[in-house]
A = this chain, B = another copy of it.
Amino acid sequence: MAADRKRLAEQLRLYLICGEGDTPDEVLRKTAAALEGGVTAVQLRVKSWTGRECYNTALALKDLCHAHGAALLVNDRLDIALAAGADGVHLGQKDLPVGAARQIAGPDFIIGGTARTPELAREAQRLGADYIGCGAAFGTATKDDAVVIGPEGIKEVLAAVEIPSVAIGGIELANVSRLAGCRCSGISLSGAVMRAADPREAAKALMREIDKSFGC
């Protein structure tokens, strides 16, 4: 298990969330570029697409991700994650519960939970989450209902669990270094890559900054 956690922690180093605000074609084009730039995991997160659009895009993303040694996860839709052969599912507090997902997915499928308090983090770990998404790290325009807990808050939440983690929420090139020392395995973001003029260069610059701030 310790070895699996170490591998998962490495996969979470630069975790791109894509989907919302882009068409399926745009998602594939930008994500392909971001993977060339060094992204280590991709999460497809769409609430407004049809199930079929999400499934077809997940199928194509899986091939892209695996060609680059990156992991693919799907937000909320465990059925689509399983049907498309993704590596895992990410579950927010308003999604399918972690425990219910684990019963369907079996022990080897990656399940990510979301927590902004030590209690929620422990609960997610207890129910079978393999990693935690923790934030919001900073203020953000993408999820305007997110409560900002900051790097210190993230450090406190992550001290409550042993599983790997990503910091999330308002992270961009300029503030990555502020997350050094907050115990997260990596960072998760969307806009800083998906809204960049050049997603490949944006991902490369973020990876350099992560290496510098978190160590290689």
Q: Which residues from chain A sit less than 8 Å from chain B, CB to CB? A: 50-53, 55, 76-80, 82-84, 91, 93-97, 100-101, 103-104
Contacts and interface: CB of A to CB of B under 8 A. Distances in A.
A101 to B, nearest CB: 7
A7 to B, nearest CB: 25
Interface of A, secondary structure class, is: helix
A52 B101 CA distance: 11
B95 A51 contact: yes
B79 A101 contact: yes
B104 A83 contact: yes
B104 A79 contact: yes
A51 B100 CA distance: 12
Nearest to A95: B51
A52 B94 CA distance: 5
Nearest to A89: B79
Contact of A79 (B50, B52, B77, B84): B77
A9 to B, nearest CB: 26
A76 B52 CA distance: 9
A83 B103 CA distance: 8
18 contacts: A50-B94, A50-B95, A51-B76, A51-B95, A52-B93, A52-B94, A52-B96, A55-B100, A78-B79, A78-B83, A79-B80, A79-B82, A79-B101, A83-B96, A83-B97, A83-B100, A83-B103, A83-B104
A97 B52 CA distance: 7
A100 B103 CA distance: 19
A79 B96 contact: yes
Contacts of A96: 51-52, 55, 79-80, 83
